C-alpha cells in the first residue's frame, strides 16, 4: 500500500520546510483552499496591517502563526476563509522617517520662505514611497513561514477607497446614535504638530530621564467637612487659615478635570498651620506626615506651642506647627472645592449609567440637560465631585 504521508528519518527541518513550501506553491494550495469552498459559509479575515517602512521581526512570526492557526482551523471546518493582507501607511513614524531622511521639519513643508522648502504634494509622495520600503522583505517572510494571506490584493490605509470606507462605517454608527462627543487629555508633540498615540509614545527615544518642574496643588476643604473632621477626631485648632489638602502631581494638565483625590487608609497625615509661600497668607494644610520635610524645613517648626512668627513672601524659611495627626481613613468621603469651577463634572443619564447617577438626576431635575443632538441626557454633578477616596 502506498504511504499517504512521507516519512522522514533524521529530520532536516530546513529542507523539509523548503519541500513543503515548494509543493504548496506549485499546486497553489492557498488559492485552492479558498476556491474549492465557494458557496460555503464564509469566515472573513483582514490582517491587522503592519507598517512596511520597518523590518519584520520575530514577534511578527509569533503573532502570524497564531492568526494562521485560526484561519486553517476554520478552513478545516468547511468555511471559505478569505484572508486579506494590509499595509498600515498612516502614523507619525512614517513622517518622522521621511523628515529625518530629507533633513527637514514640519516648518519646512509648504513654507516658501524656508531654505529647505518642500511642497505638500512632494512630501506626501515621499511618505508614500517610504512607507512601502520593505514590502519585499515582508513578502519573503510571509511566504517562507507558510503564512496564508492574499498579498497580491492588499488593502492599503492611504488608499482613498479604504479611507472612504471608514468614513462610511462611522456614518452608520452615527446614524444609529452610537457616537458621542467626549473629551480626553492626550499627549501632544509641538514639534510634530500632532497628538501622539500610545504606540508612538513607546517608540525608541520617546522617553528620557529629565528634571522637570512638578505641581503641588492646594485643594480648599469645604467648611462643613472641615468642622466634621475636627469633631470626629477631637482635634482642636484655632482660626488660623483656610484648610487645604495638598497633592503632588507630575501631570498638571489633568488638574482642570480633577474630581477626586486618593488617600491611603493607613497612612499617617498631619494638620499643619503655616503660611502660603506665594502670597504669605495664613493657611492650614492637610498632608502626609512623611512628606512634610519635602516642603517645610525642620528649622521652621514651632514645637513649644508658641505663636508662629510673621512671614514675608520670598523668605526661604517658612514657620509652621503641627496641630493634629490623623489616618487616611479619617479623610475618606470629605469634599473640597473644584480647582477650576468653570469645568463642571457631568455624567450621562440612562439605562447604562450607574444607579447613583440616575438617582442624582431624578433628585435634581434642574441639573439635567440634553446634548446638542438631542439623543442623550446628562446631569451636572459638581456637588458629588471633588471627593477623597
Reported as a single tens digit per residue, the pLDDT across 43-69 is 999 998 888 888 899 999 999 999 999
**Which residue numbers in the chain have pLDDT < 50?**
389
Rg of the chain (C-alpha set): 32
| pTM assigned to the model | 0.54
Position 210 scores a pLDDT of 83
Domain ranges across the chain: 13-89+132-179, 215-331, 346-388
Position 259 scores a pLDDT of 82
49, 155 contact by CB (below 8 A): yes
pLDDT by residue (tens digit) across 140-191? Answer: 999 999 999 999 999 999 999 999 999 999 999 999 999 988 888 888 888 7
Position 65 scores a pLDDT of 95
Residue 138 CB-half CA count within 13 A: 23
Position 343 scores a pLDDT of 75
Say which CATH superfamily domain 13-89+132-179 falls into: HUPs (3.40.50.620)
Position 268 scores a pLDDT of 96
pLDDT by residue (tens digit) across 259-271? Answer: 889 999 999 999 9
3-class SS at 355? helix
Taking the C-alpha atoms of residue 389 and residue 173, their distance in angstroms, rounded to an integer, is 37
Position 162 scores a pLDDT of 92
- Range list of H helices, 77-202: 92-102, 120-131, 135-144, 160-175, 198-201
Q: How far is CA 149 from the centre of its chain?
A: 31
Amino acid at each position: 500500500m502506498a504511504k499517504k504521508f512521507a516519512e522522514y528519518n533524521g529530520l532536516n527541518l530546513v529542507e523539509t520546510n523548503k519541500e513543503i513550501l515548494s509543493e504548496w506553491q506549485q499546486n497553489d494550495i492557498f488559492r485552492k483552499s479558498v476556491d474549492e469552498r465557494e458557496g460555503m459559509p464564509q469566515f472573513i479575515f483582514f490582517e491587522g496591517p503592519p507598517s512596511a517602512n520597518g523590518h519584520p521581526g520575530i514577534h511578527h512570526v509569533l503573532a502570524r502563526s497564531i492568526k494562521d492557526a485560526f484561519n486553517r482551523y476554520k478552513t478545516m471546518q468547511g468555511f471559505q476563509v478569505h484572508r486579506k493582507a494590509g499595509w498600515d501607511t498612516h502614523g507619525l513614524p512614517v513622517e518622522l522617517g521621511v523628515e529625518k531622511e530629507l533633513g527637514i521639519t514640519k516648518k519646512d513643508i509648504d513654507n516658501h520662505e524656508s531654505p529647505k522648502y518642500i511642497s505638500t504634494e512632494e512630501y506626501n509622495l515621499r511618505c508614500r514611497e517610504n512607507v512601502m520600503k520593505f514590502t519585499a522583505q515582508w513578502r519573503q517572510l510571509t511566504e517562507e513561514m507558510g503564512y496564508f494571506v492574499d498579498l497580491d490584493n492588499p488593502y492599503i490605509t492611504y488608499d482613498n477607497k479604504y479611507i472612504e470606507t471608514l468614513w462610511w462605517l462611522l456614518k452608520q454608527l452615527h446614524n444609529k446614535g452610537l457616537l458621542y462627543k467626549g473629551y480626553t487629555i492626550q499627549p501632544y508633540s509641538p514639534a510634530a504638530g500632532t497628538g501622539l498615540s500610545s504606540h508612538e509614545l513607546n517608540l525608541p527615544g520617546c522617553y528620557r530621564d529629565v528634571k522637570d518642574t512638578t505641581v503641588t496643588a492646594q485643594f480648599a476643604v469645604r467648611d462643613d467637612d472641615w468642622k466634621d473632621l475636627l469633631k470626629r477626631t477631637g482635634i482642636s485648632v484655632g482660626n488660623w487659615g483656610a484648610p487645604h489638602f495638598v497633592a503632588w502631581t507630575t501631570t498638571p494638565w489633568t488638574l482642570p478635570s480633577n474630581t477626586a483625590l486618593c488617600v491611603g487608609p493607613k497612612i499617617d497625615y498631619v494638620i499643619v498651620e503655616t503660611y502660603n509661600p506665594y502670597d504669605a497668607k495664613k493657611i492650614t494644610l492637610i498632608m502626609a506626615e512623611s512628606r512634610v520635610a519635602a516642603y517645610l524645613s525642620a528649622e521652621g517648626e514651632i514645637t513649644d506651642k508658641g505663636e508662629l512668627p510673621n512671614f514675608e513672601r520670598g523668605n526661604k524659611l517658612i514657620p509652621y506647627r503641627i496641630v493634629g495627626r490623623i489616618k487616611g481613613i479619617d479623610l475618606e468621603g470629605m469634599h473640597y472645592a473644584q480647582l477650576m469651577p468653570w469645568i463642571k463634572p457631568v455624567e450621562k443619564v440612562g439605562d447604562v449609567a450607574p444607579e447613583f447617577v440616575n438617582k442624582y438626576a431624578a433628585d435634581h431635575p434642574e441639573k439635567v440637560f440634553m446634548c446638542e443632538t438631542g439623543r442623550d441626557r446628562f446631569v451636572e454633578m459638581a456637588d458629588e465631585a471633588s471627593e477623597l477616596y
